[in-house]
């Protein structure tokens, strides 16, 4: 009997070895590389990855995962590390990191108010007021900082004008936005995005995050037209074609705003929830520089300072054959918050307009034309010089909104690994939402080991989900990771939940 039991145990041991060998063979065949050795946790991670890759909903998908120990630089896991994938908003990590690396963490934008001409004895400025934009994405936007409100800026400028003895202006307000090119949005953004607030793009003279808010009153029953009550701010010359109707209670913002840059007509479609008397929806400002010119001229008029000529931007000036005047005397300088603060806001709020401003600022500060393409080229060149293999890195914007972008999980993870060695790393890591607690991860990872530990930038586009950031394993190792999935067959929430299991297995890694 004992002999039979011994043979039985021996046979089972052999079978287990065969099954384990077959399992590891499948793992290697599927492209997973487990570099670190462990008794339990790597096996758990391997099992989770194998199950994920073998899911029937992944048949049409492309995906990549790379996990790096930031202390040693060792790769813990890599699946399809060189696959070029759509990164969505995880691209903002590359843009903000590039700005911090190539500029200075204390870099600040400076928007100038000046004049050209002479002030006569009666207080008449025989010339023009000039606002020279610097590309500051925070200008006039109190949601970034209360002191940034447009009224606050204009009040400071009004006092500077009064202190210069100016009581009347024979010319006009000129806005000079030529520090950036005239392309408010990257050329590969799609039509359904560009009229909405997240498709606002950037300008050499941005303002109010380049967006406005339209307030709707829902109809009294389902399907009834919803009325436009007002916009904040009021945008001179903007025409709203409203086809919005009333949707079910609690259905949220289902409104789409369509309209191209500099196009003053906006088409409003979709639904707002039943029962809402003032329902806000955000759209993109058609022409930010022209809005600043008109808004400041109107502010001065209300303060009793009369301008003889209509306000104008540099772009409009060129259309009418006017020369943008050179600023000869500076009256006031509006200084932005630090680049570190702007980069942190960009990542945490996933702000597309801020990202595009940083991209063009990089190009300008490096002596190139301030275009999307020049900024993207400068970023690729920089990271290549840092030892990153940029093959497969195709950048068409700075925010990740373009579906044409491609980045590999290996590139993203290795950049995160480099950042972990920088003296600004503590501040940078805090710009990434904290699992189960803040930002886009506030309701994700609840009840897992990653809650309150893992930090990641999320990325979402149609058929794209991505996470990139840092976590601390149960063994105390800080790791950088990038996890990108494209073309998953299923809902976005299903994919997110599957990805969360993988990332939590990384946190539970115990070697």
CA distance 216 to 280: 6
For the segment 61-73, the average pLDDT, to the nearest whole number, is: 95
Residues in CB range of 17: below 8 A, 6 or more apart: none
d(CA 79, CA 26): 13
The answer to whether 55 and 485 are in contact (CB under 8 A) is: no
Tens of pLDDT, residue by residue over 27-63, are: 433 444 444 333 224 677 888 888 899 999 999 999 9
CA–CA–CA angle 24, 25, 29 (5° rounding): 120
Interacting residues of 29 by C-beta distance below 8 A, sequence separation 6+: none
3-state secondary structure 59-100: CCCEEEEEEEECCCCCEEEEECCCCCECCHHHHHHHHHHHHH
Under the banding of pLDDT at 50, 70 and 90, the label for residue 226 is: very high
> Which residue shows structure tokens 């287990």?
16
The bridge status of strand 110-119 relative to strand 265-273 is: unpaired
**Region 87-103 average pLDDT:** 98
Task: Give me the chain's average pLDDT, please.
Answer: 92
User: Residue 325: what pLDDT?
Assistant: 87
Q: pLDDT of 267-321, one tens digit each? A: 999 999 999 999 999 999 999 999 999 999 999 999 999 999 999 999 999 998 8
Q: Note if the pTM is more than 0.95.
A: no
**Long-range CB contacts (within 8 A, 24+) of 230-239:** 233/150, 233/208, 233/291, 233/295, 235/285, 235/286, 235/291, 236/291, 236/294, 237/264, 238/212, 238/264, 238/265, 238/266, 238/286, 239/264, 239/265, 239/266
- Better-scored residue on pLDDT, 22 or 415: 415
**CB 87 within 8 Å of CB 459:** yes
Which residue ranges form the domains of the chain, and what is each CATH number?
31-104+344-507 (3.40.710.10), 110-179+288-337 (3.50.80.20), 191-284 (no CATH)
Answer whether residue 12 shows pLDDT above 90.
no
Q: Which of 352, 378, 408 is nearest to 86 (CA)?
A: 408
Per-residue model confidence (pLDDT) at position 48: 87
Residues 6+ apart with CB under 8 A from 245: 219, 223, 224, 225, 226, 270, 271
């Amino acid at each position: 009997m004992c002999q039979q039991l011994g043979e039985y145990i021996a046979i089972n041991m052999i079978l287990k070895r065969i099954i384990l060998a077959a399992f590891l063979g499948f793992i290697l065949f599927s492209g997973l590389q487990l570099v670190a050795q462990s008794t339990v946790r790597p096996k758990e991670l391997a099992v989770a990855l194998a199950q994920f890759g073998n899911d029937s909903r992944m048949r049409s998908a492309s995906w990549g995962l790379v996990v790096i120990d930031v202390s040693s630089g060792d790769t813990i896991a890599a699946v399809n590390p060189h696959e070029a994938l759509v990164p969505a908003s995880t691209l903002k990590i590359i843009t903000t990191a590039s700005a911090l690396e190539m500029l200075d963490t204390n870099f600040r934008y400076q928007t100038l108010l000046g004049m050209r001409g002479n002030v006569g004895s009666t207080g008449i400025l025989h010339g023009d007021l000039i606002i020279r934009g610097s590309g500051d994405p925070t200008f006039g936007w109190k949601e970034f900082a209360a002191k940034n409100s447009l009224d606050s800026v204009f009040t400071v400028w009004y006092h500077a004008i009064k202190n210069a003895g100016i009581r009347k202006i024979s010319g006009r307000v000129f806005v000079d936005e030529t520090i950036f090119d005239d392309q408010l949005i990257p050329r590969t953004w799609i039509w359904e995005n560009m009229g909405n607030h997240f498709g606002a793009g950037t300008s050499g003279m941005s303002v109010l995050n380049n967006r406005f808010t339209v307030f709707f009153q829902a109809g009294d029953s389902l399907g009834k037209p919803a009325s436009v009550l007002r916009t904040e701010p009021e945008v001179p010359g903007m025409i709203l074609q409203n086809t919005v109707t009333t949707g079910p209670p609690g259905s949220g913002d289902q409104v789409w705003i369509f309209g191209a840059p500099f196009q003053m007509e906006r088409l409003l479609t979709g639904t707002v929830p039943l029962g809402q008397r003032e329902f806000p929806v955000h759209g993109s400002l058609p022409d930010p520089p022209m809005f600043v010119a008109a808004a400041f001229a109107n502010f001065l008029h209300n303060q009793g300072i009369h301008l003889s000529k209509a306000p104008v931007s540099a772009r409009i000036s060129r259309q009418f054959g006017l020369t943008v005047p050179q600023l000869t005397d500076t009256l006031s300088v509006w200084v932005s918050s630090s680049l570190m603060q702007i980069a942190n806001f960009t990542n945490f709020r996933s702000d597309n307009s801020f990202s595009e401003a940083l991209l063009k600022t990089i190009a300008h500060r490096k002596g190139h034309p301030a275009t999307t393409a020049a900024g993207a080229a400068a970023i690729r060149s920089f990271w290549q010089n840092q030892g990153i293999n940029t093959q497969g890195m195709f950048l068409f914007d700075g925010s990740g909104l373009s579906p044409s972008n491609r980045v590999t999980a290996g590139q993203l993870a290795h950049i995160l690994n480099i950042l972990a060695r920088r003296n600004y790393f503590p501040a940078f890591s805090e710009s990434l939402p904290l699992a189960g607690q803040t930002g886009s991860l506030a309701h994700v990872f609840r009840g897992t080991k990653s809650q309150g530990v893992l930090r990641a930038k999320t990325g979402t586009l149609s058929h794209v989900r991505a996470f990139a950031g840092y976590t601390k394993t149960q063994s105390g190792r800080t790791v950088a990771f990038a996890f990108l999935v494209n073309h998953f067959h299923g809902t976005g929430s299903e994919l997110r939940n599957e990805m969360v299991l993988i990332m939590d297995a990384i946190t539970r890694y115990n070697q």
